[in-house]
């Protein structure tokens, strides 16, 4: 009897899927690193710093930008990784039909209503993004825009607190360093 792949095999499957889907994309930062480094970092933060061992959460972290930034469909995610992973990715995906400023406002408003698992992914995502902003600032972002981004990230994170002390502490430290670096 053929058994379903489990554990490490499922996770690596998700990594391979994300790497393929993001294969032509680069991060916004000056170093132009491959896009897939970002979702891998988000999953690594959850497992390493956050001590999160739940496979569906780690898989959803690896896949969290596939709907927003690639041609991947929710159906495709469900067929490959199951309904729980699909639902989690859907929860952390913005509605791209809305203008950017509306999407940013909705992220603040929706944060507190997310499931705990989705909050974990958001926390790790924002840690990775704020860290990138400091270490590899996007070319052409003036100081004001970077500071506004940090204020916004802090407001989204306000709704995601109470699920993982270690990740929340790291977010605070990364945010503080980002502001100090920008203002020094
Ligand atoms: Zn992300």
Task: Give the pLDDT of residue 182.
Answer: 81
- The dihedral sign for the CA sequence 124, 127, 131, 133: positive
- Please count the structural domains in the chain: 1
Cα 127 to ligand 1 centre (Å): 10
Quote the ligand 1 centre to 68 CA distance (angstroms).
9
CA of 63 to the centre of ligand 1 (A): 9
What is the rounded average pLDDT of the residues 112-134?
96
Q: Which domain holds residue 142?
A: 5-183
pLDDT interval class at 105 (50, 70, 90)? very high
Over residues 7-27, the pLDDT tens digits come to 899 999 999 999 999 999 998
pLDDT for residue 107 is more than 60: yes
Question: How far away, in angstroms, is 123 Cα from ligand 1 center?
Answer: 10
Query: Which residue from 89, 121, 94 is spatially nearest to 105, judged by alpha carbons?
Result: 94
Is the CB of residue 177 less than 8 Å from the CB of residue 134?
yes
pLDDT given for residue 26 in this prediction: 93
Overall average pLDDT of the 62-68 stretch: 97
Residue 5 pLDDT: 62
CA distance 145 to 56: 35
Q: Token match 């058994």: residue?
A: 3
The CATH number of whichever domain residue 44 belongs to comes to 1.10.3210.10
Kindly report the average pLDDT of the chain as a whole number: 94
Which residues does the annotation mark as catalytic? 68-69
Beta partners for residue 138, in sequence order: 29
Per-residue pLDDT at 42: 98
pLDDT of 3: 54
The pair of structure tokens assigned to 170 is 């790291």
Does the pLDDT of residue 53 top 90, yes or no? yes
Q: How many helices (H) and strands (E) does the chain have?
A: 10, 0
Residue 134 has a CB neighbour count (10 Å cut-off) of 17
pTM here? 0.94
How far is the centre of ligand 1, averaged over its atoms, from the C-alpha of 1 (Å)? 38
State how far the Cα of 16 lies from the Cα of 105, in Å rounded to an integer: 32
Query: What pLDDT shows up at residue 2?
Result: 52
pLDDT in tens, 20-50: 999 999 988 777 899 999 999 999 999 999 9
* Other C-beta atoms lying within 10 Å of the C-beta of residue 143: 10
Q: Which long-range contacts (CB under 8 A, 24 or more apart) does 5-11 make?
A: 6/55, 7/55, 10/55, 10/59, 10/81, 11/43, 11/55, 11/58, 11/59, 11/62
Higher pLDDT, 95 or 126: 126
Q: How much distance in Å is there from the Cα of 112 to the middle of ligand 1?
A: 18
pLDDT-derived band at 139, boundaries 50, 70, 90:
confident
């Amino acid at each position: 009897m053929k058994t379903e792949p489990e554990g490490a095999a499922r996770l690596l499957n998700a990594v391979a899927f994300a790497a393929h889907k993001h294969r032509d994309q680069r991060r916004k930062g000056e170093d132009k690193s491959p896009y897939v480094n970002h979702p891998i970092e988000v999953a690594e933060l959850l497992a390493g710093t956050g001590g999160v061992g739940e496979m569906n959460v780690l898989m959803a972290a690896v896949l969290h930008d596939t709907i927003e930034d690639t041609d991947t469909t929710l159906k495709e995610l469900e067929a490959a990784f199951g309904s729980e992973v699909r639902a989690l990715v859907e929860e952390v995906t913005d509605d791209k039909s809305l203008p950017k400023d509306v999407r940013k406002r909705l992220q603040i408003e929706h944060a507190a209503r997310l499931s705990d698992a989705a909050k974990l992914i958001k926390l790790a995502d924002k840690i990775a993004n704020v860290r990138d902003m400091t270490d590899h600032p996007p070319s052409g972002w003036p100081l004001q825009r970077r500071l506004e981004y940090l204020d916004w990230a802090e407001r989204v994170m306000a709704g995601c607190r109470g699920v993982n002390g270690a990740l929340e502490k790291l977010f605070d430290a990364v945010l503080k360093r980002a502001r100090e670096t920008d203002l020094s």
